Structure 1
Amino acid sequence: MSWASSNAELALAVSRAGGLGVIAAGPMYPDDLRAAIAKVQAGTDAPFAVNVPLYNKRSAEFLDIVLEARVPVIIASQGGPKAHIGRFKEAGVTWIQVTANPLHARKAEDAGVDAVIAVGGEAGGHPGPDEVSTLVLVRATVQAVSVPVIGAGGIADGAGIAAMLALGASGAQLGTRFLLTPESGLHEHYKNLVLQADIGDTAVIGRGRSPIRMVKNDFAAEYEAAARAGASDSELDALFGRSSLRQAAKDGDVAQGKVEAGQSAGLIDALVPAGELVERLVQETETALRGAASLLR
């Protein structure tokens, strides 16, 4: 959700409606993160979160800001919590860890996290290296840990949320669905391309490096052709490095930029305001659960 929710507007709208809005700190400057947090805090008393990728060169400063600003929830990704979690627990901050497999989830639980997010291979952005589906990964993670599990990957509506609950998860995280909202900070070209995508129009690019799931475009086709032709590692690295998420998300170059999105893009056909979307998701989830329960009669 870098760039899409690297602002106050999306997180504020979601939290106001009863979801857990998340500010994506990754591409932000520290002062911009402080300003976004302050704007959310001024706009609602509801809980919200900041996502901090722990590999980020500014992660130490981001973590300090989360503590200083008394953000109630941190969602940490791309790095282990053990070295950082103590001071957050002392401050009463809820720590949720993004995990790619049950082993990582168990390690996070042992480190003291409050919950884990199990992200399946359908998700946009950086999937787990094994690309295990959400259906299997969430169930395996629920069986592996005793802390609450949040399912993610391939979820675009209330039926998907209900499916996560049926697997034993305590909740769901939706990314691509919230990319496609007016409050999302993405360029309109990015949103339009994702809206046009069908369920088979994404691909995992860069396997063996830092793979991403993205909408197929000219860059993706060029990279896949080079990989099939036997390009060297250095050639593939150079090609991969020529394209960036910012290029698509901020500049609108959706031909050569990395248009990160999940397979659930094919289930989405309209931009919906984030607050309205949260309300709709609740209604859809209740309908799906009632429908499932009716089968027991």
Structure 2
Amino acid sequence: MANRITTLFGIKYPIIQAGMVWNSGWQLASASSNSGILGLIGAGSMYPDVLREHIQKCKKATHKPFGVNVPMLYPNIQEIMDIIVEEGVKIVFTSAGNPKTWTAWLKERGITVVHVVSSVKFALKAQEAGVDAIVAEGFEAGGHNGRDETTTLTLIPMVKEQIQIPIVAAGGIATGSGMLATMILGADGVQIGSRFVASNESSAHQDFKKVVVDAKEGDTQLTLKELAPVRLIKNKFYNQVQDLYKTAPTVEQLKALLGRARAKRGMFEGDLEEGELEIGQIAGLIHDIKPVATIVQDIIMAFEMAKKNVSNL
């Protein structure tokens, strides 16, 4: 299944396991890479020394390529980038910031750079900044999301029309048929998050994984757009947010309700009532918890079957 993405990363299948906070430690990343896709460590939930430990453990657990996803909104970003270089990581996915800030610095050190965007405007900015590829993420995605609510179905062809570098589709993809659909629309590969949350190797709390498996259509909602848009499973905390919105709250009031470490409490510690439970709309199609290797093989088999079915139309 060789194409621009498999060639760029040196992987077997054009699939990237998303670097998700509190879900994507070294075990998930190494298992993903060993399965023929690109595994990512999610640095967004890690202090610098913890990130170094995860990188070192990942290097011992796999000899295949893996990368680190770095949201660029943290104060210790320089230390994080220095650790990535010191530990010899060759692939970095950046998000939540201006791609010009770090792309040249990383590429000068021999690192392949991919930036996550949610619009054509920012795809063009990322291409101008010199990134090697982009992840175009639609409104369906879990976690922090774009403000424009552009769906993957419309985002991918609009981005494809404007840029020349490889495109990785993200948002609402958990199956082989979904992968094929986005590639038909112009993507060179896919980034999958929610499906890998519900894997044996995910660092998410088992209770959170079960909530993901039990989720149905309509159980998630994008909210907190005044701070940073985030898609959440509806729970007690989500209902508190909605009740606060009825009072026309200030940004400060929203921040006060959110507090600190909500995502950790929900996804990592398993507080299903007061925690922030980030997952994509596609959770409604996720029905079990499996090893990463099985998930990848299921996706590839379904992808090949979908191709045959399309040819028969």
Give distance in 2, aligned partners of 1:183 and 1:119: 24
Distance 1:193 1:107, change over 3 A: same
* Contact 2:91–2:113, Cα closer than 8 Å, also in 1: yes
Which ranges in structure 1 are unaligned for 5 or more consecutive residues?
none
**In the alignment, residue 61 of structure 1 is paired with which amino acid?**
E
- SS at the partner of 1:26? helix
Q: 1:178 is matched with which residue: 196, 204, 220?
A: 196
* Contact 2:40–2:66, Cα closer than 8 Å, also in 1: yes
Q: 2:101 is matched with which residue: 83, 88, 102?
A: 83
- SS at the partner of 2:59? helix
Residue of structure 1 equivalent to 2:237: 219
Post-superposition shift, 1:242?
Answer: 6.3
Which ranges in structure 2 are unaligned for 5 or more consecutive residues?
1-19
Residue of structure 2 equivalent to 1:116: 134
Residue of structure 1 equivalent to 2:54: 36
Residue of structure 2 equivalent to 1:277: 295
Q: CA RMSD in A?
A: 1.4
Post-superposition shift, 1:243?
Answer: 6.8
Post-superposition shift, 1:96?
Answer: 0.5
1:214-241 CA-to-partner distances (Å, cap 9, x unmatched) read 1000111121122134344433332233
Alignment pair present for 1:199 and 2:217: yes
Q: 2:183 is matched with which residue: 165, 184, 188?
A: 165
Residue of structure 2 equivalent to 1:142: 160
Residue of structure 2 equivalent to 1:24: 42
Residue of structure 1 equivalent to 2:258: 240
Give distance in 1, aligned partners of 2:75 and 2:195: 28
Residue of structure 1 equivalent to 2:207: 189
* Contact 2:119–2:136, Cα closer than 8 Å, also in 1: yes
Distance 1:242 1:93, change over 3 A: closer
Give distance in 2, aligned partners of 1:175 and 1:194: 12
Give distance in 2, aligned partners of 1:261 and 1:177: 9
Post-superposition shift, 1:286?
Answer: 1.3
Q: Which moved more, 1:168-177 or 1:199-208?
A: 199-208
Q: Which moved more, 1:65-74 or 1:9-18?
A: 65-74
Give distance in 1, aligned partners of 2:243 and 2:198: 29
Q: Which moved more, 1:178-187 or 1:218-227?
A: 218-227
TM-score by length of 2: 0.90
- SS at the partner of 2:125? helix
**In the alignment, residue 4 of structure 1 is paired with which amino acid?**
N
Give distance in 2, aligned partners of 1:243 and 1:9: 22
1:237-276 CA-to-partner distances (Å, cap 9, x unmatched) read 3223367101112221111111000000000000010111
TM-score by length of 1: 0.95
Alignment pair present for 1:261 and 2:311: no
Give distance in 1, aligned partners of 2:257 and 2:246: 14
* Contact 2:99–2:125, Cα closer than 8 Å, also in 1: no
Q: Which moved more, 1:42-51 or 1:237-246?
A: 237-246
Distance 1:159 1:36, change over 3 A: same
1:46-97 CA-to-partner distances (Å, cap 9, x unmatched) read 1111001111122211111111222121000111221222232223211000
* Contact 1:102–1:144, Cα closer than 8 Å, also in 2: yes
1:1-80 correspondence to structure 2 within 5 Å: 1-5=20-24, 7-80=25-98
1:126-162 CA-to-partner distances (Å, cap 9, x unmatched) read 1100111111111111112100110000111111100
* Contact 1:152–1:172, Cα closer than 8 Å, also in 2: yes
How many equivalent pairs are there? 294
Give distance in 2, aligned partners of 1:86 and 1:127: 25
Residue of structure 2 equivalent to 1:289: 307
1:187-224 CA-to-partner distances (Å, cap 9, x unmatched) read 11211111111121001121222121010001111211
Distance 1:29 1:231, change over 3 A: closer
